[in-house]
Structure 1
Amino acid sequence: MKVLKDARRLLAIGVLALVVQIGGPLQTAQAKVFDPVSFTLDNGLQVVVVVNQRAPIVHHSVWYRVGAADEQAGESGLAHFLEHLMFKGTESLEPGEFSEIIAANGGRENAFTSWDYTGYFQTVAADRLEIMMRHEADRMANLVLTDDVVTPEREVVREERRSRIDNEPRGQLGEMIRATQFLNHPYRIPIIGWDHEIEQLNTEAALRFYERWYAPNNAILIVAGDVDPEAVRRLAETYYGPIPAGDIPMRERVAEPPQNGAREVTLRSPRVRQPSLSISYLAPSYRQAEGAEAYALQVLSEILGGGATSRLYSRLVVDQGIAASAGSGYNPMAYDYATFSFYASPRPDGDIAAVEAALRAEIAKLLETGIGEDEVTAAKKRLVAGAVYARDNLSTAPRIIGNALTTGSSLEDIEAWPQRIDSVTVEDVNGLLESVFREEQSVTGYLLPKPTT
């Protein structure tokens, strides 16, 4: 089980063609990449099927529209803690028995938690899909928790935090940057939670969260692989269909106040061997953006940080030779705020101050002269062409679709992605620069070595 990082370039691509079909006969729309089919059960469970017959396997996943940002104050880490506890048995299965069944059938599994969603998946031979559906539906409705299994698992989560955050300088800095970037919004709280609050989580809190959010009408079932959509519908109706819909509350998120001054965070540690810095700005997500804003920022991120030919890599790493790495990142798939970030790291024994000066000079030049039309045209072509490879990995379609649908995008939005990227103009990109990249709205993070003596 893992805590998802919210920067994934493939997810940021946001690919592509789906069909919306609620009830009635299955239909398929003209598709670009995945050619999926979607329908909704009577209890509100949305089902998306992506046929991929490259191998006789299937990827079965369930995504819940709830994550760490939906927790109550003082219960940080509860969404991730429940993710762990979902493997602890039901009325018909002993703790860990579902995992044993998956292994016995030659499959693999995992789960993940983000600020906006929680998901569970299995990859097995196509003829074992029914087994996965039976048991995943079982734990959607019939989870059994007792102190005997909850208390030891809480210590497992605390140890996970110690290994990934407390003993990892980059993880510590990441927490500090988010807590500085977001003063009021729950994105400031780590997905895994603060240790002193994890220590207080208990069986009652986990069951309350489960009963509040885990219901078919708050979930999306995604099946990708060597399957027939009609057969998937029959199985979904058999195993998920009888689960009653829940009374799901509205997602209540507070707004972030305006930022009126640049912020800085510095972490020094003897464990740091290679210094680095990042400069980040709040930016609109798909759900928050107006018009072409999110698509224009994706094009801009591709120009600035899209690989070895990007502006930042070319100028700081290749031309000036002062950086070991340099780039940018932007992912609009968030229920609320997104961020646009720049990053760079000096060559071994290099000067972090010189790298920072060069990076800030590039940002200043961007604001002064903007982006050229040739750069926009080339970036759009690369982004759309990248969608061709979306079928190479069976888990790609479920990741993109699940991430999009749990953060407020629709199937039509995903289908229209290539056209919207292609319609971005140089004016769209340059028109956003002054509003997004304002120094008083920046957060700079420094990861620096600390002498041991």
Structure 2
Amino acid sequence: MLLALWSATVASAAPFEVRRSRESPEHARLVLAPRAGTGRATLQVLFSVGRFDEGGMPGLTLACQHVMLEANRRGRYDALVRELFGANATLTLSTGLRQSGFTLSAPREDFGRLAERVLTLVLAPQLDAARLEDALERTGQDPSLTVADDFLESVLAQVLSPEPRFKAPVPSNAQAVQSFSDHDVQAYMAGPLSPRNAVVIAAGDFDPEALRRTVARFKGGSPSAVTRLQPQLPVTLKLPAMSDINLLAYPIELNDARQAASARVVGVLLGQRMEQRFRRLGVGYAQDASVLLTPWLDQLVLTLPARDPSALDLGPFMLEEVRAVREGRVGAEELALARAEVLARLRADDRSPAEVAQALAASVHAPAWYSPEVEAALAALTPESLAQTVGGWLGEDRRIHLLFTPSVLPLRSTAGARMRRR
């Protein structure tokens, strides 16, 4: 029955169209996912720079983002805010570890005009020195200056990279931010935050050709490369935390649609297996198995409490399920159920401009993750082909095992050594 339902779903599924282009190496890369009839569109302007790239000047990325909006001779931010409010549109900024940007969401009838305003501000900024002090002051008041939402990515970067800059960044503070000079800001905007280091993503109901013409107007800047991480594996590490949590991570490759489909399915499979195992035991735990995409490393990440209240060690359960999937012990019906769930999520997200833009932003470095070919790759996936792909990913010699614990023991790393089963 499940196989029949899967076949019917694939036959009626819509293509996940994505158009990628670039005018020249000096221009921003353009990623378009037009979806007529959705009524709204989402624009993301991303730069391949973040808090790990600030060269001893913590907060500089966020400060420059504020300057682009609030101290820019290209436009008045207060006027833009009024336009956004009148159009029922939103504009937000984000500052990550290796990627930062701006996100605009607007109705179709206002999107083109507002997108042009935003692109002009962030791809061709002209610093207004008279307003710089106010912009830096507002940066110091921005909660995201000291509170980040990328804890997991930050921990994995610190654990896996030997580079000093990937260790815990120096915390930003308002006083330090307000000491930035106009030269500091202009140099950063002309380099890491320049058009040639940008990716412009648009998804939803908009005019693709008009947006392409707008983006083509902006070019220049110094190249800023993002180096992919080559970690020494396996890794076992204890980290302090308020409660006991197991985290398993396995680096994955997303070079083609087959690998992308396999990564999506294996996360669902492992999540379903853990849920079913605990259901049979008559217990329930908050657990997750999903793909974490970052500019420096892509990973399959599994999280699970380390123990239950009776002090039962849960780590072996998680490792057993990973081993079963790695060895190909997945039935056709089980695989069909996981594939159907993956496709259902994809189809639902594909009609949401915000979800499509978010997926494309996360996978800028891995175009195969979200593409029309993923649908066919899902349909062609078999237990044998899945095992062939993920078997190399889920090996014990590629495992990252982090145990978060309230234990007062000092941090202990065994990078390059196998983790013992308990």
TM bin, normalised by shorter chain, reads 0.7 to 0.9
Report the residue type matching 1:312 in the other structure: M
Distance 1:180 1:241, change over 3 A: closer
Q: In 2, distance between residues paired with 1:294 and 1:54?
A: 26
Q: Indicate the residue corresponding to 1:262 in structure 2.
A: 236
Is 1:421 equivalent to 2:378 in the alignment? yes
| DSSP 3-state at the match of 2:241 | strand
Contact 1:325 1:346 (8 Å CA) reproduced: no
Higher deviation after alignment, 130-139 or 42-51: 42-51
Q: Indicate the residue corresponding to 1:302 in structure 2.
A: 268
Is 1:107 equivalent to 2:89 in the alignment? yes
Distance 1:353 1:83, change over 3 A: farther
Q: Indicate the residue corresponding to 1:123 in structure 2.
A: 105
| Aligned counterpart for 1:249 among listed residues 223, 230, 238 | 223
Report the residue type matching 2:230 in the other structure: E
Contact 1:279 1:343 (8 Å CA) reproduced: yes
Report the residue type matching 1:242 in the other structure: R
| Aligned counterpart for 1:205 among listed residues 184, 187, 206 | 184
Is 1:314 equivalent to 2:276 in the alignment? yes
Say how many residue pairs are matched: 387
| DSSP 3-state at the match of 1:414 | coil
Report the residue type matching 2:355 in the other structure: T
Is 1:326 equivalent to 2:290 in the alignment? no
Is 1:151 equivalent to 2:136 in the alignment? yes
Deviation at 1:263, TM superposition (A): 1.7
Is 1:233 equivalent to 2:209 in the alignment? yes
| DSSP 3-state at the match of 2:94 | strand
Q: In 2, distance between residues paired with 1:261 and 1:221?
A: 36
Deviation at 1:402, TM superposition (A): 3.5
| DSSP 3-state at the match of 1:195 | coil
Is 1:380 equivalent to 2:363 in the alignment? no
Q: Indicate the residue corresponding to 2:115 in structure 1.
A: 133
Contact 2:18 2:31 (8 Å CA) reproduced: no
Deviation at 1:241, TM superposition (A): 3.9
Q: Indicate the residue corresponding to 2:9 in structure 1.
A: none
Q: Indicate the residue corresponding to 2:37 in structure 1.
A: 53
Q: In 2, distance between residues paired with 1:393 and 1:82?
A: 30
Q: In 1, distance between residues paired with 2:16 and 2:155?
A: 38
Q: Indicate the residue corresponding to 2:387 in structure 1.
A: 430
Report the residue type matching 1:258 in the other structure: Q
Structure 2 residue ranges without an equivalent (≥5) = 1-12, 409-422
**Aligned counterparts, 1:211-226, within 5 A:** 211-226=190-205
Report the residue type matching 2:49 in the other structure: G
Deviation at 1:338, TM superposition (A): 1.4
Q: Indicate the residue corresponding to 2:6 in structure 1.
A: none
Contact 1:326 1:344 (8 Å CA) reproduced: yes
Report the residue type matching 2:134 in the other structure: V
Q: Indicate the residue corresponding to 1:82 in structure 2.
A: 64
Q: In 2, distance between residues paired with 1:235 and 1:290?
A: 28
Q: Indicate the residue corresponding to 1:342 in structure 2.
A: 302
Q: In 1, distance between residues paired with 2:229 and 2:21?
A: 33
Q: In 1, distance between residues paired with 2:87 and 2:76?
A: 17
Report the residue type matching 2:298 in the other structure: A
Report the residue type matching 1:414 in the other structure: S
Q: In 1, distance between residues paired with 2:399 and 2:32?
A: 39
TM-score relative to the length of structure 1: 0.71
Cα distance per residue 1:181-201 (max 9 Å; x no partner): 434496x457xx531588645
Is 1:283 equivalent to 2:245 in the alignment? no
Deviation at 1:428, TM superposition (A): 3.6
Cα distance per residue 1:337-386 (max 9 Å; x no partner): 11222212389x82464333543444455556743343223322322233
Distance 1:196 1:394, change over 3 A: closer
